[in-house]
A and B are shown apart, each in its own frame.
Chain A
Amino acid sequence: MITAEYLGMPLEINDLDTENLDYFSHCSRHDFRLQRCCSCDLFRYPPTTACPWCSGAESKWVAVEGRGTVHSYTEVHHAIQPAFKQHLPYLVLVVELDTQNGKPSIHEALRVVGNLTTPDGVLAPRKDVGAVGIGTRVRMVFTDVAPGISLPQWTIDEGAADKSRVWRYPLE
């Protein structure tokens, strides 16, 4: 059982939740790995108990590059959890990984959720929040929470070639 506190929230991974124990233990080493099905070779996210593409039971944890494009987002102005209030507005990003994009159908992708953070994993300042939208290229970083648990997060990929095509909610 891993327990930790992050932004005022108690996080908990119990001993039977082996999928999340494995996932977050890799994350704690800043090594992003996803389950790859031993039957159909497709990755999946988040960690689950079987393959959503072929129902296969067996999988291996395989390293995946933490790079992708913002598929959609919300910019939160009214926090539910008290500790998020000091970081308002913050972004929740739904990011499509480059890996396995468009597979197994054109509408599928590994959509990995995270906040927009600074490169060291702290919720991003307002100027960065206002610069990111659908189409922004991002790279994965980590927020270290406690031994055995780090949260994967997203930060602006400053090295990305094309930064021009970013769509943001128009009424700003």
Chain B
Amino acid sequence: MPMPENVEGTTPKYLRDKYAIVGVGETDYRRGSTLSTRAMATRAIGNAMRDAGLKASEIDGMLSYQFNDSTFTPLVAGDLGIRLNFYMDVFGGGSSIEALIGIAIGVIEAGMCKTVVIFRSMNGFSQVRIGGTGARAVAPVAGDMLHSRAYGWQSAGQSFAPSFMRHMYDYGTTAEQVAAVRVAHSHHASNNPKAFYKKRVTVEEVIGSRMICKPLHLLDCCVETDNANAIIVTSSERARDLRHVPVKIRGVVGRCCKPRSDMHYQTGPISTVAGHYAKEILWPNSGVQPEDIDVTGSYDAFTFTTMLQLEDYGFCKKGEGGHYVSDGTIKLGGRRPNNTSGGHLCEGYTHGIAMVIENVRQLRHDADDSCPIGPDGRRQHTHDYGEGGCRQVKDAELSANLGWASPGTGSALVMRRG
């Protein structure tokens, strides 16, 4: 969609489009990386620097996020010969990347540095798994966890499941509707050579897969992989000299919460998630509306998280998320494809950053699918979305990323083609 004109927002207007994402990079999605998180981070950042056409001396800020399962920024910067004017490592997962992009804008705007690289590096399969298995399963249960983990209620899926179940009860959402998220993302992944799971699946295969914790079947849950991702943020003015069409940042929301977000089940209705609040910041600050968006990246730790967020950010009416995700809208070729890389359900798992990278490539009109490379060195996208084909959304101008930590906390980002 073309940009609407004369839009009003609450953000200072001079910040809209003033900053851009100029470089993205990642390592392969593997189970068994045979690399340290430090080594993966340096490779992902190196790829992002080459993608942008930036040297180490041209980067002076670094941000990362982690769960005591990664490497701190000074070590990674040191390995790459990057001298930092600013760095920070924050604790957190799926609601981090959009928030950190906002923080990067803030620190550049404050004059603390000029160009910031943000990374997430995790051996999420071979070292520290998110679900609470391994070392995390035997850690002492103390504090607030006495009211959750002691009841065998600890993994993300277990923790969120009552919210998902209540949505089915409140609105009549069906397992088949929500399974369509996995189906769509698996189709997208089949056109993504990087994806860990490239096989297309059906609704029947999703609801026929073994039950993990109701209403989540195995295929309602995302994949665990070893991977690092990196994104470089700088001013749009600086971006003009770099390799790609800049992808400009319209608006951000960072870790917007429901009341009592730490115990998200305490504040009702529990079938409403943080996007309900975040949308009041995201759309005015971006100066666009959901109907303007061409491609979404709604966090898919689970099929349900994609559905709940698209609904609460206003892509459909409250309660109609099940219909929205199953009527073809979110598939490639549909009105507004979601997670065109295959997302966390299929491509791999790195706490949301890869979904921003995918939308950067979409807005560059440079999705790295299997389409042929033309004489100008650019991919000749066919827009044939058959298996093994194209995954570039035609004429993509605006994207939205909807990050998720839990039903109680979310972050979001709107980007435009510069």
Contact = CB atoms under 8 A, between A and B. Distances in A.
Interface in A46-60: 46, 52
Nearest to A79: B152
A134 B174 CA distance: 16
Contact of A76 (B152, B165, B259, B263): B152
A153 B185 CA distance: 39
A45 B158 CA distance: 20
A113 interface: yes
B90 interface: no
B147 A94 contact: no
Interface size class of A (residues with CB under 8 A): 35 or more
Contacts of B162: 71-74, 92, 94
Contacts of A80: 131-133, 137, 152, 154-155, 158
B163 interface: yes
Given A72-B169, A74-B158, A113 B268 contact: no
Contacts of A134: 165-166, 169
Contacts of A72: 162-163, 165-166, 169, 265, 270
Interface in B135-168: 137-138, 140-144, 146-155, 158, 161-163, 165-166, 168
A65 interface: no
Given A74-B158, A92-B153, A94-B162, A109 B146 contact: no
A164 interface: no
A113 B162 CA distance: 11
Contacts of B153: 74, 92, 113
B45 interface: no
Given A114-B151, A115-B152, A170-B175, A76 B143 contact: no
Contacts of B148: 113
A127 interface: no
Among A7, A78, A111, residue most surrounded by chain B Cβ atoms (within 10 Å): A78
Contacts of B265: 72, 94, 111, 113
Contact of B143 (A9, A20, A114): A20
Interface stretch (B211-219, B238-246, B363-371): B211-219
A107 B158 contact: no
B394 interface: no
Interface string A115-151: 1000000000000000000100000000000000001
Contacts of B263: 46
Nearest to A87: B152
Given A11-B141, A72-B165, A151 B152 contact: no
B269 interface: yes
A92 B158 contact: yes
Contacts of B154: 80-81
B165 A12 contact: no
A74 B169 contact: no
A57 B260 CA distance: 17
B266 interface: yes
A169 B175 CA distance: 9
A76 B158 contact: yes
Contacts of A82: 137
Contacts of A7: 152
B54 interface: no
B68 interface: no
- Top 7 nearest A-B pairs by Cβ distance? A74-B161, A107-B268, A72-B162, A72-B166, A77-B211, A46-B147, A12-B142
19 contacts: A3-B140, A6-B150, A24-B146, A46-B147, A52-B260, A73-B162, A74-B158, A74-B214, A76-B158, A77-B210, A77-B211, A77-B213, A78-B212, A78-B213, A92-B152, A92-B162, A107-B269, A109-B268, A169-B168
Interface of B: 131-133, 137-138, 140-144, 146-155, 158, 161-163, 165-166, 168-169, 174-175, 207, 210-215, 259-260, 263, 265-270
